[in-house]
Amino acid sequence: MGIFSIIRTLLLCAASLTILLANPSFCQCNNHLLSGERLNPGQSLTSGNVDLAMQYDCNLVLYDNGKSIWSSGTYGSGSGCYVTLQTDGNLVIYDNTNNPLWASNTSGENGNYILILQKDRNLVIYSHPIWATGTNHAGSVAVVVAAARNGTVGISGAEQNKVREIRKILKIMTDE
């Protein structure tokens, strides 16, 4: 009976690993920064073929299939630089002496913010959408983030056009 128990355990482990690896959301864990998190030199966020890289030369660069489509313009401005999403919603690049080199200038109230590298290749800071690189493709799938009164945010996938249609319907319903 001991051998059957071992085989059953191994099969259960293999099945669990297969389910985890097949789950599409499992691969989407590296596409965002939460308030207080940072990217150090050589680290990046990834969504499909799009990467946001904090480079060793202190430049924060957004790549689509290896081609640069946006950058912070901070190339050669220091060393040991990192980018962080602060708890006030400001995305800031600091050098190794903690001097700010670049900022999104989106500081506001302290709270819960999230920087998302979306599937449409747009990089967006959410609480409410307050800053974006503007590099998304029209008609592509986007992410919808809804701010709750308790300071948390909820994220769900949706097409931008459908969200716009819902807003129009809600506006018409509230105008009557």
Q: Which domain holds residue 34?
A: 29-129
In angstroms, the CA 39 to CA 53 distance is: 8
Question: Is residue 21 situated within a structural domain?
Answer: no
Query: What's the number of domains the chain is made of?
Result: 1
pLDDT > 90? residue 142: no
Residue 174 within any structural domain of the chain: no
Identify whether 150 is part of a domain: no
Could you tell me if residue 45 is inside a domain?
yes
Question: Quick one: pLDDT band at residue 160, thresholds 50, 70, 90?
Answer: very low
Bigger pLDDT: 126 vs 158:
126
Take residue 123 and report the two structure tokens written for it. 């990089």
132 band by pLDDT with thresholds 50, 70 and 90: confident
Q: What is the pTM of this model?
A: 0.62
Q: What percent of the chain has pLDDT over 90?
A: 53
CA distances from 52 to 35, 76, 150 (A): 17, 18, 30
Beta bridge partners of 52: 45, 62
- Comparing CA positions, the residue from 76, 57, 68, 85 lying closest to residue 153 is 85
pLDDT digits (tens, 9 = 90+) for 36-83: 999 999 999 999 999 999 999 999 999 999 999 999 999 999 999 999
Report helix, strand or coil for 110. Answer: coil
What are the two backbone dihedrals, phi and then psi, of residue 83, each rounded to the nearest 5 degrees?
A: -115, 140
- Tens-place pLDDT, residues 76-123: 999 999 999 999 999 999 999 999 999 999 999 998 899 999 989 999
Judge contact between 144 and 165, C-beta under 8 A: no
How far are the Cα atoms of 157, 158, 164, 166, 170 from residue 173, in angstroms, in the given order? 24, 22, 14, 11, 5
- 6 inside domain: no
pLDDT class of 9 with cuts at 50, 70, 90: low
Q: What is the pLDDT averaged over residues 148-156?
A: 43
Residue 33 lies in a domain: yes
What CA–CA distance (Å, rounded) separates 86 from 98? 13
pLDDT at site 163: 38
Q: What CATH number does the domain containing 78 carry?
A: 2.90.10.10
Among 90, 91, 103, 137, residue whose Cα is nearest residue 118: 137
Tell me whether residue 125 is in a domain.
yes
